[in-house]
Amino acid sequence: MTQYSDAHLRDVLKRTKSVAVVGVSTNPVRPSYFVARYLSLKGFEVHPVNPVYAGQTLLGREIVAGLGDITAKVDMVDIFRRSDAVPEIVDEALAVLPALRTIWMQIGVEHAAATAKAEAAGVTVIQNRCPKIEYQRLFGELRMGGFATGVISSKLP
């Protein structure tokens, strides 16, 4: 299922405090970087995960190689990997993150079997969506043409 009510998405975002971003990049023009940065600026505790950059620092935190290297509580795993990588990530998340409540797969990322496995374990799964976009949309921060939604004057011709 990739259709989610606004209330459901809002609830997930409100209850989430800590996010592991799997597949994060240190390149500031990559979507994984600016989503992680945005979530951090919004007060989420962001844990960057990428074996390529393990040991480097991003957004004030050390990048770790895998989810098992995170020592803090993690509420949500945000996956920036291809769909075929999802089962392994879900298996690791379920095994090593006891406080996990949500697995979020980015735009274009879906995996039915991994979703069913996570949901059977009591974890909420969101596929083919971006938490940054949903946060902006649901909490009134979506920008259109450089203006915040609702700011454009109604006096246009």
Give the residue-averaged pLDDT of 102-112.
Answer: 97
Provide the pLDDT for residue 140: 79
* Closest C-alpha among 70, 68, 76 to residue 42: 76
State the CATH number of the domain containing residue 16: 3.40.50.720
Inside any domain, residue 155: no
Inside any domain, residue 47: yes
Could you give the 3-state DSSP secondary structure of residue 46?
strand
Provide the pLDDT for residue 1: 53
3-state helix, strand, coil in the chain (%, to 5): 35, 20, 45
Inside any domain, residue 31: yes
pTM: 0.88
Inside any domain, residue 153: no
Domain that holds residue 96: 6-148
DSSP element (H, E) containing 133: helix 131-138
Provide the pLDDT for residue 155: 35
DSSP element (H, E) containing 150: none
* Closest C-alpha among 67, 119, 63, 62 to residue 97: 67
Provide the pLDDT for residue 149: 39
CA dist., res. 102 & res. 26, Å (int): 24
The number of folded domains in the chain is 1
Inside any domain, residue 126: yes
